[in-house]
A and B are shown apart, each in its own frame.
Chain A
């Protein structure tokens, strides 16, 4: 059974203080690893998809990386508007479309 574990559960940063969020996964065959951002009262919003070990993707202050066992979401010089819950999900390569999500990391960036 696919498993996704995210750490830490919660993270508090000062504005400008860079850090990384971790997503460890177990899957029989990986089709893709997804990162989403979720703001309170809203649905998750797509950020990145990574498909193979060594792949990296960037968007503004966020950079996602992937190894065979885990993914990191690096946040460089965060701003208060980066405060949100960040969710990681995996999709198997078996042909099914479903995503299995981790429980997320709640990020709070203080000014």
Chain B
């Protein structure tokens, strides 16, 4: 079991550019969550899916953020256009038998 796989691990981009973060969940886990972590606000839930269907996107900060889960083995979080305040670590997690399993995260820096 390779766990939850996120890519890229680090992303540095200029303000205004489009950023796409990727997640490969653990096979068989029905729920997928996208979280954002900052020093000031900790871990914040952005959106989550159940069986590939978005259930709650109330945490998505603005229309610049969008997420998709086209199939059970892949999800993306897109920011367009990116802004410096989007700089954070973005985590993908899936819900297994013993609680969430998190990926290693993508550290996004928008300059």
* A residues in contact (CB < 8 Å) with B: 34, 36, 41-46, 49, 87, 89, 96-104
Interface: B77 (CB within 8 A): no
B9 CB to nearest chain A CB (Å): 9
Closest A residue to B50 using CB positions: A97
Chain B contributes a number of interface residues (CB within 8 A of A) equal to 23
Asked if A46 meets B100 with Cβ closer than 8 Å, knowing A97-B31, A98-B48, A98-B56, the reply is: yes
B8 CB to nearest chain A CB (Å): 14
Binds A, one of B14-22, B62-70, B79-87, B90-98: B90-98
Q: Of residues A89, A99, A102, which shows the largest number of chain B Cβ atoms within 10 Å of its Cβ?
A: A99
A64 CB to nearest chain B CB (Å): 12
- Collect the chain B residues with CB atoms within 8 Å of residue A44's CB: 43, 91, 100, 102
Interface: B99 (CB within 8 A): yes
Of residues 3 through 45 on chain B, the ones whose CB sits less than 8 Å from some CB of chain A are 4, 31, 33, 35, 41-43, 45
Interface: B104 (CB within 8 A): yes
- Collect the chain A residues with CB atoms within 8 Å of residue B41's CB: 103
The reply to whether B45 and A100 form a contact with Cβ atoms under 8 Å apart is: yes
The reply to whether A97 and B102 form a contact with Cβ atoms under 8 Å apart is: no
- Collect the chain A residues with CB atoms within 8 Å of residue B4's CB: 43
- Collect the chain A residues with CB atoms within 8 Å of residue B52's CB: none
A96 to B48, CA, bound (A): 10
- Collect the chain B residues with CB atoms within 8 Å of residue A41's CB: 104-105
The reply to whether B31 and A43 form a contact with Cβ atoms under 8 Å apart is: no
- Collect the chain A residues with CB atoms within 8 Å of residue B42's CB: 87, 101-104
- Collect the chain B residues with CB atoms within 8 Å of residue A103's CB: 41-42
The reply to whether A46 and B56 form a contact with Cβ atoms under 8 Å apart is: no
The reply to whether B56 and A43 form a contact with Cβ atoms under 8 Å apart is: no
The digit string for B47-73, where 1 denotes a CB below 8 A from any CB of A, is 010100001100000000000000000
The reply to whether A97 and B48 form a contact with Cβ atoms under 8 Å apart is: yes
10 A–B pairs (Cβ distance < 8 Å), ordered by A? A41-B104, A43-B93, A44-B43, A96-B56, A97-B31, A98-B33, A99-B33, A99-B45, A100-B45, A101-B42
